[in-house]
Chain A
Amino acid sequence: MSFFKHRNNLIHAGIALTLSVINIYIIFTLDPPNLAQGVFGNIFFIHVPIAWSAFLLYFGVMVCGIFYLTNKSIKWDYRGLAFAEVGTIFMFLVLTTGPIWAKPAWGHFWPWEPRLTTSLILFLIFLGYFMLREFGGNPEQVSRYAAVLGILAFLDVPLIFFSVKFWLPEMQSHPQVGQYFSSANPMSTYLIIFSFISMIIISSLMVRFRTNILSMNHTS
């Protein structure tokens, strides 16, 4: 793996691994903040940071798309694709951990909650994105089309969010979110921020690794 031969990449991977091990250890050993939800309450510390990272990664697809369309450098296309792939993995995790948490919190697996629904719709658009990448035409055209679709998907986010939010007004937000961010017990807030930082570091490593492979395939 030539990617890990560079010292900086190795350090990046080391930090990512250490932080995730610490993060997972804390989440598994932490006393659940909500006794009614039992140990499932702790999934919040992994679900929410993953969701934030997934949206950030899709935002990255949009930024790469804008750069690709303005300067046509193939690097931005690879970065965009890498962001989309890692973002979709993260989004899949959001859609898996969401229902696991929703069952003890709401009583059923799928609530039509605005954030979860927006995630699902974005995930579906990005499945179409990969189909477009695969079957869209010649490589140069596909890169342009994919950049346009990446921007289109992110422009859709606020519209999807607001329409779902007011579609079912009783589903205003996550249940009992307040207890995780209470000022009396700031520990939860710190934990979420720590978890988010470790997710950012892992996802950035994944994006860099994937970009590296894509550009190597191109040059070889």
Chain B
Amino acid sequence: MIFHLVLKDLKIEWRSKEIITSMFIFGLSITLIFALAFQVAPNLIRTFAPGLLWVVILFTSVLGLNRLFSLEKEDQALWSWVAAPVNRGTVYIAKVISAFIFIIMSELLFIIPFFIFLNLPSNFSFISFALILFLGTGAIVSVGCLISGITLQARLRDVLIPILLFPSASPVAIAATKCTGLLFNQIPLVNYLFWLLILGSFFVIFGLFGYLVFNQIVEE
């Protein structure tokens, strides 16, 4: 069931390409603004780069999370969820997986220009970097899909998602920035396992919570 739901989201995205394209272009635009704004101190930008990277990721995620349930909402397809004989926790898991794929894809697209524009060195372990990106994005998505769900019927949805997401995801911002900073300084992975643990526990706690309460969110 999860597979079919994810496949449906991916198919729609493959045809319209609206979520990934908009997130990529938005990420690129913020990177450009950062590169221009920090021109006064190009040396300092290396110190700030981990934080900037996660700011860009959080901002672009908001865009993706905003569109995540939009199709269902616009076409009144929410009723099919209510009527369908499936556990709605499954719908949540499927949405988490789709959002994760969309955000990771857009990250892969704008991270290369991010490193080029900000003149960042790339002599660090790519496997560790991928692990941090995966865990960080997973943590953002697990709480983000839940927030996207509870703001589904809200009049001010575009405003409410960032207002609720940024403070809730602040542990992710701290932990992911710390990990990325240590990684950029070529410090081996074992030294920041604590921060990876924070990201992992965030993902597990909110993933489980979302799975359990999504039944309550999608209801008549």
- Footprint of B on A, CB under 8 Å? 69, 121-122, 124-125, 127-128, 131-132, 135-138, 141, 144-145, 147-149, 151-153, 155-156, 159-160, 162-164, 166-167
- Closest CB-CB distance, A116 to chain B, in whole Å? 14
Contacts of B153 in A (CB 8 A): 136-138, 141
Q: Is B175 an interface residue (CB 8 A)?
A: yes
Which among B143, B153, B168, B209 has the greatest number of chain A C-beta atoms within 10 A? Answer: B168
Which among B167, B195, B202 has the greatest number of chain A C-beta atoms within 10 A? Answer: B167
Q: Is the interface of A mostly helix, strand, loop or mixed?
A: helix
In contact, B168 and A152 (Cβ under 8 angstroms): yes
Question: Once the chains are docked, how many angstroms separate the CA of A205 from the CA of B219?
Answer: 34
In contact, A145 and B150 (Cβ under 8 angstroms): yes
Question: Once the chains are docked, how many angstroms separate the CA of A149 from the CA of B195?
Answer: 25
Contacts of A127 in B (CB 8 A): 163
Q: Chain B 151-194 against A: per-residue CB contact (8 Å), 1 yes, 0 no?
A: 11111100110011011101100110010000000000000001
In contact, A166 and B194 (Cβ under 8 angstroms): yes
Question: Once the chains are docked, how many angstroms separate the CA of A163 from the CA of B136?
Answer: 14
Chain A residue at smallest Cβ distance from B152: A137
In contact, B178 and A131 (Cβ under 8 angstroms): no
Chain B residue at smallest Cβ distance from A117: B170
Contacts of B146 in A (CB 8 A): 148, 152
Q: Chain B 101-139 against A: per-residue CB contact (8 Å), 1 yes, 0 no?
A: 000000000000000000000000000000000000000
Question: Once the chains are docked, how many angstroms separate the CA of A166 from the CA of B177?
Answer: 13
Contacts of A147 in B (CB 8 A): 216
B interface size (C-beta, 8 A): 33
Contacts of A122 in B (CB 8 A): 167
In contact, B167 and A128 (Cβ under 8 angstroms): yes
Question: Once the chains are docked, how many angstroms separate the CA of A135 from the CA of B152?
Answer: 11
Question: Once the chains are docked, how many angstroms separate the CA of A151 from the CA of B170?
Answer: 17
- Can you identify 12 A-B contacts, CB atoms within 8 angstroms? A124-B166, A125-B167, A127-B163, A128-B164, A132-B151, A137-B152, A145-B151, A148-B146, A151-B213, A152-B209, A153-B168, A155-B205
Chain B residue at smallest Cβ distance from A149: B150
Contacts of B206 in A (CB 8 A): 152, 155
List 5 tightest A-B contacts by C-beta distance, closest first. A137-B153, A145-B150, A124-B167, A163-B171, A159-B171
Chain A residue at smallest Cβ distance from B143: A152
**Other A-B pairs beyond A149-B150, A155-B206, A167-B174, 10, CB < 8 Å:** A69-B216, A125-B164, A125-B167, A131-B160, A131-B163, A132-B164, A136-B153, A136-B154, A148-B146, A160-B170
Question: Once the chains are docked, how many angstroms separate the CA of A203 from the CA of B49?
Answer: 45
Q: Given A69-B213, A135-B160, is A162 in contact with B168 using a C-beta cutoff of 8 Å?
A: no
Q: Is B217 an interface residue (CB 8 A)?
A: yes
In contact, B170 and A132 (Cβ under 8 angstroms): no
Question: Once the chains are docked, how many angstroms separate the CA of A120 from the CA of B219?
Answer: 32
Question: Once the chains are docked, how many angstroms separate the CA of A148 from the CA of B216?
Answer: 8
In contact, B209 and A155 (Cβ under 8 angstroms): yes
Question: Once the chains are docked, how many angstroms separate the CA of A156 from the CA of B202?
Answer: 8
Contacts of A156 in B (CB 8 A): 168, 171
In contact, A135 and B209 (Cβ under 8 angstroms): no
Q: Is B201 an interface residue (CB 8 A)?
A: yes
Contacts of A131 in B (CB 8 A): 156, 159-160, 163
Q: Is B198 an interface residue (CB 8 A)?
A: yes
Q: Given A145-B217, A148-B146, A148-B213, is A135 in contact with B155 using a C-beta cutoff of 8 Å?
A: yes
Question: Once the chains are docked, how many angstroms separate the CA of A12 from the CA of B151?
Answer: 38
In contact, A128 and B150 (Cβ under 8 angstroms): no
In contact, B209 and A128 (Cβ under 8 angstroms): no
In contact, B168 and A125 (Cβ under 8 angstroms): yes
In contact, A162 and B198 (Cβ under 8 angstroms): yes
Which of B150, B155, B160, B195 is A148 in contact with, Cβ under 8 Å?
Answer: B150
In contact, A137 and B216 (Cβ under 8 angstroms): no
Chain A residue at smallest Cβ distance from B175: A163
Question: Once the chains are docked, how many angstroms separate the CA of A155 from the CA of B154?
Answer: 23
